[in-house]
Structure 1
Amino acid sequence: MAAEIKKEIELEIAHVLFTDIVGYSKLPIHQQRAVVERLNEIVRGTDEFQAAETAGRLIKIPTGDGITLVFYHSPEAPVECALEISRALKKHPELQLRMGIHSGPVSGVIDATGKANVAGAGINMAQRVMDCGDAGHILLSKHVAEDLEEYPHWQPHLHELGECEVKHGVRLSLVNLYTEELGNPAVPEKLKAARVAAAAQRKRAAFRWLSLRVVSLLVVIAVIGFLLFRYRPPHAAVELLVPEKSIAVLPFENRSRDPDNAYFADGIQDEILTRLSKIA
């Protein structure tokens, strides 16, 4: 396999800018070729591209519907390059581009033809970051954003987006980079949909919790009702406690001045009781 002898490039941390032309697959073939050529012209015209290429610290990877740039000097390099590209695209509204940036380990090879290529987590993650965006977005991984936060002039342009679920269920923390003139300040549609789904899930969870509470309350009421019905006193026993009809005869008081008349009051009470007992 002499013709396929490859020179290994050691594993190192790189700063990757991954780009993608939005709606590329829907364009006619001649337009696809035209927009790719225009994108290559714009990218090659940026100061960051030229500086890194002159220093020999840049790898260019065509992706069919975009281009991937691998920088090695600084995490600011791909960000500055993305802003330069975004500025140039204002003159080419027909070219809708989205960009993702991540810093991570990459390894590459240079084959016998002299063509360079790279692979690794840094490349894969940059693509996943880009996949979360829409046209005009410059999205950064949280790792890149934390590096840029060390520089005060970047801080006003970094805007937290939260997490986005990507391939294989991986969740990425994303930051949207934009200025007053460059980038896209809108929340990506993918994150909007995720937020709507999360809100709907919270509503369903709240409804299930409320339903469980209502069912539990109904069960308690049913148990209490059963116990009250099961152990209530018989109707006949209640009737025996209180006679259906009764008359109380209070003692008579002797209101005369003669105390000897007290026996008369007692006699009247006894007589009334005797007569009433005969009626019963």
Structure 2
Amino acid sequence: KIKRKLKLVSMKGAGSKSASAVFDIEEDGNLKFESEATSKSKLSICGLCKAPILEEPEYYLDMPFHHNHVKIYMKLAGAFGQARVSDVGPSGVIDAAFFFVDVVGLSDPALSVRRQIEKIEALNDMIGHCETFKKASDKRVLPTGDGMAIGFMLSPESPLQLGIDLHHALKKYNTHTNKEDGSFLDVRIGLASGSVFIVNDVNSNQNIWGPGIIFARRVMDVGDGGHILLAGPLAESLLTLDDKYKGMINLLGDYQVKHGQIIKIYSAYSGNEFGNSVIPARFKS
């Protein structure tokens, strides 16, 4: 037998809703239509959000999608080289808290390539030994060349705690360095929360991409060496979560980032323990 699908688009002289009917052509030439219940049990599953598709699906790379999800999937696939979005729930997105760090002055032409590599390796090693990093089973790490982005899927406190851990490690590390020979290691950190997709890269490793991680990068870009800056939503969430944060998270004010977007930025610091209490240069300009 041969399976076919018939779609009713319109009916002259009568109002109608576009619908499809699936039927088999039997060996004797008769048509056998599937019942409505059988058709519903065979609904296509969206390749992005993994939810059943109640309307006529739209196909891309032989995968069915909701009509409004095809462009989103194509954008992700383009960014990750035909990546396929992992099953992360009915919405296809997750909310996470992000830690974004880079090495200050790494592109300085006065630094040798070997010195640059030493700094990157030292940063990676310090973060890898931080207790917050080691204990978090819900994290996703995305190397960025001169630093890294880390998404924590469950705990909004983890990014700030990791920043504090890293500053303690840097303090010990820099007792054996000096600024004259370029060995001193300085970083800036941006923290934010927001939505992201979890996607598989070309090596089938899971990675993260989306507004949340971009937001953390923009917050970090505002800072100078030693700063731990937080986007408003994450900072305000922590301030309501525990009173201990009221003594370390301080409002800097509103700042205009790319595309004219204005965001509220906070700075986390505590004396000589961690952070930088000086207002970032970009706020002064």
Larger Rg: 1
Identify which of 101, 109, 116 aligns with 2:191. Answer: 101
Task: Normalising by structure 2, report the TM-score.
Answer: 0.63
Unaligned runs of 5+ in 1: 194-280
Please point out which of 113, 138, 154 is paired with 1:29. 113
Measured at CA, do residues 51 and 131 of structure 1 come closer, stay the same or move farther in structure 2, by a change above 3 Å? same
Q: Does 1:166 align with 2:248?
A: no
What SS is found at the alignment partner of 2:116?
helix
One of 243, 263, 271 as aligned partner of 1:152 = 243
Asked if residue 49 in structure 1 is aligned to residue 151 in structure 2, the reply is no
Tell me the SS of whatever aligns to 1:24.
coil
Partner of 2:3: none
The 5 Å alignment of 1:245-256 reads none
Question: Equivalent residues in 2 for 1:191-210 (5 A)?
Answer: 191-193=283-285
Quote the Cα distance in structure 1 between the aligned partners of 2:198 and 2:257: 25
Look up the equivalent residue of 2:204 and give its one-letter code: G
| Cα pair 2:83 2:199 within 8 Å, conserved | no
| Aligned-partner Cα distance in 1 for 2:94–2:201 | 19
Q: Is the contact made by 1:136 and 1:184 (CA closer than 8 Å) also made in structure 2?
A: yes
- Map 1:58-137; keep pairs closer than 5 Å: 58-93=139-174, 94-111=184-201, 113-137=203-227
Q: 1:131 Cα shift?
A: 0.5
TM-score by length of 1: 0.65
> Does the 8 Å CA contact 1:7/1:111 hold for their aligned counterparts?
no
- One of 151, 161, 179 as aligned partner of 2:270: 179
Partners of 1:167 and 1:28 in 2: CA distance: 32
The letter for the 2-side match of 1:33 is I
RMSD: 1.8
- Quote the Cα distance in structure 2 between the aligned partners of 1:156 and 1:131: 24
Cα distance, 1:116 vs structure 2: 2.3
Q: Is the 8 A contact 2:97 2:191 kept in 1?
A: yes
Is 1:17–2:108 an aligned residue pair?
Answer: no
Could you say which structure has the higher strand fraction? 2
Long gaps (5+) in structure 2: 1-60, 62-80, 175-183
The question of whether the paired residues in 2 share the 8 Å contact of 1:6 and 1:112 is answered with: no
Q: Tell me the percent identity.
A: 35
Q: 2:229 aligns with which of 110, 120, 139?
A: 139
CA positional deviation for 1:112: 5.6
Q: Give the partner amino acid of 1:70.
A: G
For 2:36, the equivalent position in structure 1 comes to: none
Q: Distance in 1 between matches of 2:83 and 2:284?
A: 48
Cα-to-partner distance string for 1:90-131 (whole Å, 9 max, x where unaligned): 123311100000010011212462322211110110000001
CA–CA separation in structure 1 for the residues paired with 2:219 and 2:123: 20
**Cα distance in 1, alignment partners of residues 201 and 262 from structure 2:** 35
CA distance in 2, matches of 1:100, 1:148: 15
Higher helix share: 1
What is the SS of the residue equivalent to 2:172?
coil
